[in-house]
Structure 1
């Protein structure tokens, strides 16, 4: 009995693109399932979230491999996995209180003793909105799109007409400027 030859990743991708048969995606997914799971668990630090995100990757594959030419599947799937984890973390960050707010004793002491987490978060958001108006418009726009609308760098670039490097720069500088203003109060 001879073993069935292993079809290279790029050929499986091409067969999927031509036939739209998910069995090819399934085979690719199974090859890298362990790696995807480990990356998700490393970033999300929660078994259930990691499993959910791992399954979301399969769905992403069925859509994205039709649209994108992928030369190095392993590197590409690792990047897609990390980005999906970051996106999930950004979404969950909206549900938690910013740790910096809790560390900021001055702002915390200004709150009434019985203030709820929602009130604290609301106060923090009001302050952030004020500071967003004080920083340069491009930085403010990128921060709002990235954090409030959960847009990717590419989506921000497409929407604003900025290059990816400009988007990254505005996000980095905007976060720094926002942090400086938050620390002053």
Structure 2
């Protein structure tokens, strides 16, 4: 799986990394711990979704869940606990009505509210100029990350390698960038609604 970046084991146990993350809140520590089991999480997601791209997206979503979830739970066996978290995430996604396959709505596009919004925009050619304008309002690093991820279809790992950023930094840039894009697009859409109604 090319999107998974393997890192050397620094000899700390899972339990030690869990405790270090709980005490410090350092996402780098959580990222190091999570990367040990990304292949396991990906396998669980693939088993449920039967789709590689959706499974890759779920791996990133589950990491985002862990940021707060791990600090709230007492975890003795991180691997077993993570397996259950991944399983629950997949089951919740499959049970959510918006993720059911229909003619109009593609399951593989479902990642989050922000992603659904952006993917819909990208599919509508008439909104491309508005999207270009909003991308131009982003901070330079967010601008680059969004272009690579959405327009050039690069993975988190590929973006990290090409920009020299850490995986966690790439995740943060894309997450914040798509939120800013969503806000910009909503403002743009709101501003043109009265014109559309008067025609």
Which TM-score applies when normalising by structure 2? Answer: 0.45
- The TM-score, its normalising length taken from structure 1, stands at 0.48
Q: Whose relative contact order is higher, 1 or 2, with alpha carbons under 8 Å and at least 6 apart?
A: 2
